[in-house]
Amino acid sequence: MSEQHVKEIDAPIKELISSRRQEILQIAQNGANPSPLKNLAEIQTAAIDALYRARDQEK
């Protein structure tokens, strides 16, 4: 069961990392007003960290 939980946690981590890459590219291109995208990137970072912690606890 634990291995299944780890797989379930890995999927959103990969999705968030992919999404975060896109947001970072938008921040780079949209240098004039990056605040909303910066906030989103910070939220994504926190979510990724939380998912990593959950995955580590499952192992």
The model's pLDDT over 1-59, given as tens digits with 9 standing for 90+, comes to 477 777 777 888 888 888 777 777 777 777 656 677 677 778 878 888 888 888 888 76
The Cα 41–Cα 49 span in angstroms is: 12
Q: What is the pTM of this model?
A: 0.53
Largest CA distance in the chain: 48
- For residue 1, the model assigns a pLDDT of 47
